[in-house]
Structure 1
Amino acid sequence: MVEPPPPIRSLRTQIALVFGSFSAALAMVVCFLAGEVLKIRLQHQAGTALGIVAHNAGNLLQQDLQQQIRRAQVLASSPELWEEGLDSPSVAQLLQRMQHLNPYNVWIGVTDIDGQVQNATGGLLLGTNVSERPWFQEALRGPYISDVHPAKLLQNLLPRSATGEPLRVVDFVAPIYQSDSGKRLGVIGIHANWDWVQVAMDRLLQGPAKYSQQSIFIFDRAGTLIYAPGGAIAPYLALGQAYPKALVGTAPQPQLVTWKDRPQPYLTAALRLQPPSDENDLGWWIVARQPIETAYADANRVLWMALGLGLVAGLFAAWIAWRLARHVSNDLKQLAQAATHVQTTHDIDSLPLLHSNREVFQLSQALSEMTHKLLRANEEMQEQVRIRTLELQQANAELECQASTDPLTGLLNRRGFETQAQVALALAIRSGRPLSVLTLDIDFFKHINDQFGHDAGDLVLTSLAHLLRKRLRQADIVARFGGEEFVVLLPDTDGEDALRTGHSLLQTIEETPIPQVGHITASAGVSSLQAGDADGLTDMLRRADDALYQAKRTGRNRACRQD
């Protein structure tokens, strides 16, 4: 009988191969799974961050649209429009002042009830009949915001868009009624250059958003592209880009979408624009996108690091297994029991140092050291998770601060003001305490910018913000609504005290010189909370704005009150 040849591999080699291969595979699988979990989490965070960008862009656009239609309604309700006739020089001056408040309003005009243009900025379209224009027909039914469209009648009278494309505008129109009789006299129309959206989006996409190549698109109700990065839509329209079909009828969750301008997908988040007013639901979609390679860069990097770490750990485990295979049958049980005890109690000192031979001694010693490292690594990972959580909380707090703070003056913006003002309003209503609001507008601010430059204009705004913070109480809520308009909410202050506060502030402003500019003046409007206010804050601001317009009309550098 022929005896079989002895095995080529020794027991030590076989154990090393089996245990080493298993350890290497297990380490790589564990690291891969851990990397996948972290990758999914980082991808979710990237989608959430992109959704926040779309949300902030939608809020910013909604607030701008609200402000524009509100100005049209306030101007339409002003008796100054019809007291001397729609074609009077005073109306022309009023329209010119309104255009100076917002240079993107390329045309402001008033028509009679038949659609004949009676007055307009720059005299453009004066005497033209616009009764067939959609914006005029819509205005006869009430306040109206149009979709983005070419300026047909004004296209040859005004410069082209800053992008070189034909001028596109958004119409903000409202009917003009005679306040004492309720008779409809005509229509006021504001044509706003659509380029203002580019300025707003560029201001939003700064810092990390710009570095990560995030961009914003806007589509109308029909899915037609009306805004693209840089304000130029022609290249995308040439590619046939419309609202991505992958986003139609899906949950509003960020997802990977292929666009027309390149084959690689983008991480895309879509948000429907909230109606800027009860009468106008534009149905626009705000879409934010980011290249997948930048959106998922951190996630892919983490996955590759996990695979590399798993491979290194596997190779290290195979090497240890080969070194410590001798006497494994006698000593592994004891070591396994000790390891189980350490797992349940974290009592590292219970690991024995076996001395049956050198290899077993090295194995027990290595197991003890690895356990120490794993526990330390676990503690370090928990600390990193805690630090990461704190960083995310700080980032969220910074985003919230940016969303509610005016970057130039450091005061609250409209959103931050309304949030704090609602709390003060609820407290005043519940406790029966007085509450007043003061709106303040710098006189002839455009002349300051034209004469001294925009840097001087910014200095005037920051100096006025510093003066308001210094002179007002800590409980008062101060905000910059935009341009040269400031708003102050005065808790525990009735109308008379608020008016005195306004006179005092205007006197201080007039007496306080500003470097490079000198002395300036401002006008103020005051209003107090009334028992019959259906929407307390909105009604107060409306009356304060009306009082401010009265102060402007009656000579400026004064405070007027309206209750």
Structure 2
Amino acid sequence: MFKHSSFRVRLALWFGGLSLFTLLSVGIYAGWITANQMKINAGEAVHAQAVAAAELLGANLHEREIEIILLSQAPHFVRGDLTSPDILASLERRRTLRSEFAWLGVADATGTVVQASNNMLVGQSVAQRPWFIAGLKDVYSGDVHEALLLAKLLPNTHTDEPLRFIDFAAPIRTGDGKVIGVVAAHAHWNWVTSTVQSIINRRNNDSETQILIVSNSGNVLYPQTLAGVSELPTKLPLTKNYSIAMWDDGHRYLTSQVLVDADSTTNFGWRIVVRQPLENALAPVYAMYARFLVLALIAVILFSLLAWRLAQSVSKPIEQLAAAAHCIKHNTSAPRYPTDTSLSEVAQLSNAMQSMTESLLTRERELELLNQTLEQQVLQRTDALAVANKQLEHLATTDPLTGINNRRRFDEKLVDYVQMGKRTGRGFSILLLDADHFKKVNDNYGHPVGDAVLQQIARLITSQTRATDFVARYGGEEFVVILPNAPSAAEVMTVAEKIRSAIESASFPEIGKMTMSIGSSYWHPEEINATDVIQRADEALYNAKASGRNRVVAYEQLK
């Protein structure tokens, strides 16, 4: 093939072929590594979303069950008079505060509904309902189901699917342990679905990523479009964080499933399944391959041109020497040497080598300058990444509306204070604050005014607390304050009263006056469960609300 080709042609072809082979080999290997790493990163991200959704759903289900338990143990429930107006007020208040509850009611021991939110089902018998039968014996949480009787009384805002509910029930016992009835609640199924869907909406920009709720028997409960249509892959492990599985639609997905642990009396056996199309996860790799091929072709052309010029600079003196030798041999004309002076063949080759060396040194200096430029760019990108990470950490721990710490940061801080308290033997106090009649603000003045009220409340709370105190938005119109270093009851009451008085005295644009109910509780170092102090503060807050609002109640005063 190269029998009669020139040196410069051979060198250009060899350089071009070698550079193409090297670039393709490195590119394919780097792409393979990158694709594997991206699959791992995407799989771990899918698993993290499944874990977050399962934990959030489990925590919310457990909280709703705890609410029903606390409601059944409230003083005006256990007195024995299920027709008391205080019971209906509690049901209506809880229904107002918790929009996920479609219905709350109290049935006597015979199964007749005595009182209920919005007077729904009052006077009707629920004796054959599973929640009532189980609720007479113990706390009960029921799996998702359709409630045809209740669905007729409620508006269906989700017309594309039937109304479905989850039941919570607990027995009402008098002081001597006698069961006099059952308090129960039906929670909207769309509250469950919106809870898990919020994880995907916050964490994933890929619209093809889906989150599914799967029953213990393997049936898809959510989304409704897949219920009874889609089936889970037969080999979907629970022991691995994620896997690549072929689904019944013929596509491969990065898939992760996590069991929902609600820590409740009834184990639903639900699983959270998150799946992302594999081709979506690897889309950046395919784009990188396309860009790399273009760059490889450009590099091959440049290497070939460079080789051509290099071969020309080497072969020309040799050709001139060969021509000179030919002229001498045949004596056809005067020989022409590569230089103007009469030099020997060795001197001419030496000069050529010197020229090549200078060219290589020039390229080496250019490469050093290029390396310095690249190192500087890497440092700049590293600094920018550090700033971005810091901003992300701030966004993850700060409530976007009020600018104070959010619920996630509070949960982390609570664990830190508990660990510190166990090491030092010093406890801390919790203030749980709730804006009185805040729903009326949103209903009468709109959510922008309500948001402004929450922002002003956050500023007032922060201004009335100490530098060592921790202030966070607990959720909705609820705020929480941690008072560290084992404060005395008088100190806790002083801080709480300062906050309450400041809010009562403040003037809020458009609405005028606002008040705040506050419950407090103390955490002792010998306690094991950190959430107990929150439940006690919540019970004290509930007492403050029930006692007329705009007051501070310490849990220790309720004993």
Q: Normalised by the size of structure 1, how large is the TM-score?
A: 0.83
Equivalent residue, structure 1, for 2:112 = 116
Matches within 5 A, 1:328-407: 356=349, 364=357, 367-368=360-361, 371-372=364-365, 401-407=394-400
Residues 318 and 300 from structure 1, CA distance in 2 versus in 1: closer, same or farther, beyond 3 angstroms? same
Answer whether contact 1:424 1:491 (CA < 8 A) is retained.
yes
Equivalent residue, structure 1, for 2:298 = 312
Equivalent residue, structure 2, for 1:337 = none
Is structure 2 residue 494 aligned with structure 1 residue 500?
yes
Give the deviation of 1:420 after TM superposition. Answer: 0.7
Matches within 5 A, 1:200-349: 200-201=195-196, 203-206=198-201, 209-210=204-205, 213-228=208-223, 233=224, 235-237=225-227, 240-248=229-237, 251-255=240-244, 257-258=246-247, 260=249, 263-273=250-260, 275-325=261-311
Equivalent residue, structure 2, for 1:464 = 457
Answer whether contact 2:141 2:169 (CA < 8 A) is retained.
yes
Answer whether contact 1:428 1:491 (CA < 8 A) is retained.
no
Residues 473 and 19 from structure 1, CA distance in 2 versus in 1: closer, same or farther, beyond 3 angstroms? same
Give the deviation of 1:108 after TM superposition. Answer: 0.5
Give the deviation of 1:91 after TM superposition. Answer: 0.9
Answer whether contact 1:324 1:359 (CA < 8 A) is retained.
no
Separation (CA, whole Å) in 1 of partners of 2:27 and 2:365: 19
Separation (CA, whole Å) in 1 of partners of 2:365 and 2:246: 46
Letter in 2 for 1:519: K
Is structure 2 residue 159 aligned with structure 1 residue 169?
no
Partner of 1:111, secondary structure, is strand
Residues 532 and 34 from structure 1, CA distance in 2 versus in 1: closer, same or farther, beyond 3 angstroms? closer
Equivalent residue, structure 2, for 1:481 = 474
Residues 115-124 or 56-65, more deviating: 56-65
Letter in 2 for 1:83: R
After superposition, give the CA deviation of every residue in 1:53-99 in whole Å (9 maximum; x if it has no partner).
33333333233223222211221211122326112222111100000
Pairing partner for 1:517 from 483, 487, 511: 511
- Which has the higher Rg, Structure 1 or Structure 2? 2
Give the deviation of 1:236 after TM superposition. Answer: 1.8
Pairing partner for 1:147 from 123, 139, 143: 143
Partner of 1:325, secondary structure, is helix
Give the deviation of 1:13 after TM superposition. Answer: 3.2
Partner of 1:247, secondary structure, is coil
Residues 393 and 300 from structure 1, CA distance in 2 versus in 1: closer, same or farther, beyond 3 angstroms? farther
Partner of 1:439, secondary structure, is strand
Answer whether contact 2:523 2:533 (CA < 8 A) is retained.
yes
Equivalent residue, structure 2, for 1:433 = 426
Answer whether contact 2:236 2:245 (CA < 8 A) is retained.
no
Pairing partner for 2:95 from 93, 96, 99: 99
Equivalent residue, structure 2, for 1:22 = 18
Partner of 1:153, secondary structure, is helix
Residues 53-62 or 492-501, more deviating: 53-62
After superposition, give the CA deviation of every residue in 1:185-239 in whole Å (9 maximum; x if it has no partner).
32221111122245445544447723554332222222222222xxxx1x3236x
Matches within 5 A, 1:120-139: 120-139=116-135
Partner of 1:436, secondary structure, is strand
Equivalent residue, structure 2, for 1:559 = 552
Equivalent residue, structure 2, for 1:335 = none
User: What runs of 5+ residues in structure 2 fail to find an aligned partner?
Assistant: 318-346
Separation (CA, whole Å) in 1 of partners of 2:374 and 2:37: 16
Q: Normalised by the size of structure 2, how large is the TM-score?
A: 0.84
Letter in 1 for 2:74: S
What is the total number of aligned residue pairs between the two structures? Answer: 526
Equivalent residue, structure 2, for 1:339 = none
Equivalent residue, structure 2, for 1:446 = 439
Answer whether contact 1:212 1:290 (CA < 8 A) is retained.
no
What is the root-mean-square deviation in Å for CA atoms of aligned residues? 3.3
Answer whether contact 1:28 1:311 (CA < 8 A) is retained.
no
Separation (CA, whole Å) in 2 of partners of 1:307 and 1:237: 44
Separation (CA, whole Å) in 1 of partners of 2:498 and 2:525: 27
Give the deviation of 1:122 after TM superposition. Answer: 1.3
Residues 278 and 91 from structure 1, CA distance in 2 versus in 1: closer, same or farther, beyond 3 angstroms? closer
Separation (CA, whole Å) in 1 of partners of 2:103 and 2:2: 100
Partner of 2:79, secondary structure, is coil
Separation (CA, whole Å) in 1 of partners of 2:476 and 2:2: 93
Residues 480 and 193 from structure 1, CA distance in 2 versus in 1: closer, same or farther, beyond 3 angstroms? same
Separation (CA, whole Å) in 1 of partners of 2:276 and 2:157: 26
Residues 208 and 413 from structure 1, CA distance in 2 versus in 1: closer, same or farther, beyond 3 angstroms? closer
Letter in 2 for 1:410: G
Residues 509-518 or 283-292, more deviating: 283-292
Separation (CA, whole Å) in 1 of partners of 2:376 and 2:108: 71
Residues 302-311 or 89-98, more deviating: 302-311
Separation (CA, whole Å) in 1 of partners of 2:166 and 2:471: 31
Partner of 1:267, secondary structure, is strand
Give the deviation of 1:355 after TM superposition. Answer: 7.9
Give the deviation of 1:510 after TM superposition. Answer: 0.7
Residues 76-85 or 396-405, more deviating: 396-405
Letter in 1 for 2:268: L
Separation (CA, whole Å) in 1 of partners of 2:166 and 2:283: 39
Separation (CA, whole Å) in 2 of partners of 1:247 and 1:391: 40
Is structure 2 residue 49 aligned with structure 1 residue 32?
no
Answer whether contact 2:197 2:211 (CA < 8 A) is retained.
no
Separation (CA, whole Å) in 2 of partners of 1:6 and 1:70: 86
Letter in 2 for 1:290: Q
Matches within 5 A, 1:159-198: 159-178=155-174, 180-198=175-193
Equivalent residue, structure 1, for 2:64 = 68
Separation (CA, whole Å) in 2 of partners of 1:544 and 1:25: 70
Letter in 2 for 1:251: K
Separation (CA, whole Å) in 2 of partners of 1:388 and 1:540: 45
Letter in 2 for 1:502: A
Separation (CA, whole Å) in 2 of partners of 1:166 and 1:37: 47
Letter in 1 for 2:546: R
Partner of 1:419, secondary structure, is helix
Residues 374-383 or 140-149, more deviating: 374-383
Partner of 1:245, secondary structure, is coil
Residues 531 and 220 from structure 1, CA distance in 2 versus in 1: closer, same or farther, beyond 3 angstroms? same
Residues 393 and 193 from structure 1, CA distance in 2 versus in 1: closer, same or farther, beyond 3 angstroms? farther
Answer whether contact 1:26 1:314 (CA < 8 A) is retained.
no
